[in-house]
Amino acid sequence: MQHFSHDGFDLAYLDEGEGDPVLLIHGFASNTRVNWVSPGWVKTLTEAGYRAIALDNRGHGASSKSHRSADYHPDKMAADAAALLDHLRLERAHVMGYSMGARVAAFMALAFPEKVATLVFGGLGIGMVEGVGEWDTIAAALTAADPATITDPRAKMFRAFADQTKSDRQALAACIETSRQLLAREDVARIVQPTLVAVGTTDDIAGSPDELAALMANATAFAIEGRDHMLSVGDRAFKKRTLAFFEENPL
């Protein structure tokens, strides 16, 4: 991992391969390694002739942490992603985000449209507009002294994931307060870049990919068959469809 600075944060990033750049933005409580390296995305992209660039979002992975919720609005994380392209002297890239990263990618497309050639929203459908359920229990679970006291299944899952990734749970609790900022339907309609919306058919978090795609003039929905929110990430069919999408929409 390499590092650069933006907005007072030291941000870690990976940069591998040659060819058209694909900027990868990971999900909540994850990091570059968990979201993109281990599931094989970096390997898939570089072997297909792309340059894979992935950053650890502020508060995650090897990037610096803050315990202030005000630091985690999606527009601030989108600005980090745009700053990374500037740091690498890249004018534009394919931008792919998963879950929270998809929301950040959407904010990036709206604030920095000239930098975003195409979009892949993985693990987030109409939940980008309508919300993705009750998350206060997850914030409480992240700061619970004893994980054995957590009873909510989704909260228990995210606490276990945070512990598995050795995350700063206070930073994640701050992040979850503000990173869920919703986009209005009219804002989503302003996203004009070619977009692929990919969601697992058993994902109970993301919301419908078809409903989100219908709000945009140039978006296509893709169902990741038989996969939930966690298992969709590394799905082979998802990778194959994404590579085809990039071929259909070159820089």
CATH of the domain at 72: 3.40.50.1820
26 close to 54: Cβ distance less than 8 angstroms: yes
Residue 154: predicted pLDDT: 85
> For residues 54 and 97, what is the distance between their CA atoms, to the nearest angstrom?
10
In terms of residue numbers, what domain contains 124?
2-130+179-240
Neighbouring-strand partners of residue 120: 96, 196
> For residues 251 and 234, what is the distance between their CA atoms, to the nearest angstrom?
24
**3-class state of residue 24 by DSSP:** strand
Count how many domains the chain has. Answer: 1
Sign of CA dihedral 42, 20, 239, 184: positive
pLDDT tens profile 165-205: 889 999 999 999 899 999 999 999 999 999 999 999 999 99
Residue 15: predicted pLDDT: 98
Assess if residue 172 is contained within a domain.
no
Lowest mean pLDDT of 13-27, 117-131, 145-159, name the range: 145-159
Assess if residue 72 is contained within a domain.
yes
The arithmetic mean of pLDDT across residues 72-98, rounded, is 98
The pLDDT-based confidence of 96 (bands split at 50, 70, 90) is: very high
Assess if residue 57 is contained within a domain.
yes
